[in-house]
């Protein structure tokens, strides 16, 4: 099949999946796998798997198996991605690129997913079943555009984190919200159980990651470490609000 014909066929299949399939992003990944012939995964800004090829095993690839089994990458692999400048390469690249670092058994083909000029996710293929060819770069770019379109549908709220809660905390931090009655009503509306002792934690990850490519990932990790905490990113720092019945419970 000629390259132009293959690109056209791929585009038509993706358009059909967008219009008629109820499988969402997984449906696009399945179409992508059928055309590229190599396993595909979509990860969000928190280094978590949104969708990936499911009917294939790659036993000797650590990153693939972490995403398949746990749904997210370990702190060790995230740190390696930052240390070897993969995170920066993904953010800075305007075109798909091939990459293989010391922690990867198989090379990857990476491309970021853009919505309204912002990077919201990463799509990647693993060079497992066959070597990459020149047309794969064009195919994964078309796939990325389709993923962006799917993420902008109504289902996109699945990939956002408590925007109303984050807005509430931002309004409090910036003192735009001062009336106790209004604050109480907002808390009731969001169904947030506030206990007697309220604490605000602020974490600056710049010493670990100066470009802050991992800040969303670290937000989730730290939020899980503080029982009942709610986290957001504010002023390039991680802010966690938590409340406890007893003051000593914080420890």
211, 230 contact by CB (below 8 A): no
pLDDT digits (tens, 9 = 90+) for 137-189: 999 999 999 999 888 875 555 454 456 677 788 888 888 888 888 887 777 77
Phi and psi at residue 7, to the nearest 5°: -65, -40
Least confident of 3-7, 45-49, 88-92: 3-7
pLDDT category of residue 67 using cuts at 50, 70 and 90: very high
pLDDT digits (tens, 9 = 90+) for 203-226: 998 888 887 878 888 888 888 888
- Tokens, residue 125: 């293929």
The domains of the chain, with CATH numbers, are 3-154 (3.30.450.40), 163-250 (no CATH)
Q: Which is nearest to 168 in space by CA: 118, 235, 241?
A: 241
**Residue 85: its H or E element:** none
Contacts of 120 (CB under 8 A, 6+ apart): 44, 45, 113, 114, 148, 151, 159
Collapse the DSSP code of 42 into the 3-class scheme (helix H, G, I; strand E, B; otherwise coil) and give the result. Answer: strand
pLDDT digits (tens, 9 = 90+) for 101-116: 877 899 999 999 998 8
How far are the Cα atoms of 9, 27, 109, 191 from residue 135, in angstroms, in the given order?
13, 21, 12, 50
């Amino acid at each position: 099949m000629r390259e132009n014909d293959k690109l056209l066929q791929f585009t038509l299949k993706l358009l059909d999946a967008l219009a008629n399939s109820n499988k969402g992003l997984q449906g696009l990944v399945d179409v992508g796998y059928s055309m590229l012939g190599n396993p595909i995964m979509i990860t969000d800004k928190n280094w978590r798997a949104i969708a990936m090829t499911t009917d294939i095993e790659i036993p000797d690839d650590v990153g693939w198996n972490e995403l398949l089994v746990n749904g997210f990458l370990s702190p060790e692999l995230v740190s390696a991605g930052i240390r070897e400048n993969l995170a920066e390469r993904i953010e800075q690249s305007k075109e798909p690129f091939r990459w293989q670092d010391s922690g990867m058994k198989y090379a990857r083909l990476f491309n970021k997913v853009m919505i309204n000029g912002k990077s919201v996710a990463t799509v990647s293929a693993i060079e497992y079943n066959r070597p990459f060819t020149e047309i794969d770069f064009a195919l994964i770019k078309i796939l990325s555009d389709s993923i962006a379109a799917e993420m902008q549908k109504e289902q996109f709220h699945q990939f956002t984190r408590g925007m109303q809660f984050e807005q509430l905390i931002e309004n409090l931090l910036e003192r735009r919200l001062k009336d106790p009655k209004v604050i109480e009503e907002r808390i009731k509306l969001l169904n947030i159980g506030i206990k007697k002792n309220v604490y605000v934690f602020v974490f600056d990850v710049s010493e670990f990651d100066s470009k802050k490519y991992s800040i969303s990932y670290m937000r989730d990790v730290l939020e899980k470490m503080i029982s009942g905490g709610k986290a957001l990113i504010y002023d390039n720092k991680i802010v966690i609000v938590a409340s406890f019945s007893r003051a000593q419970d914080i420890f």
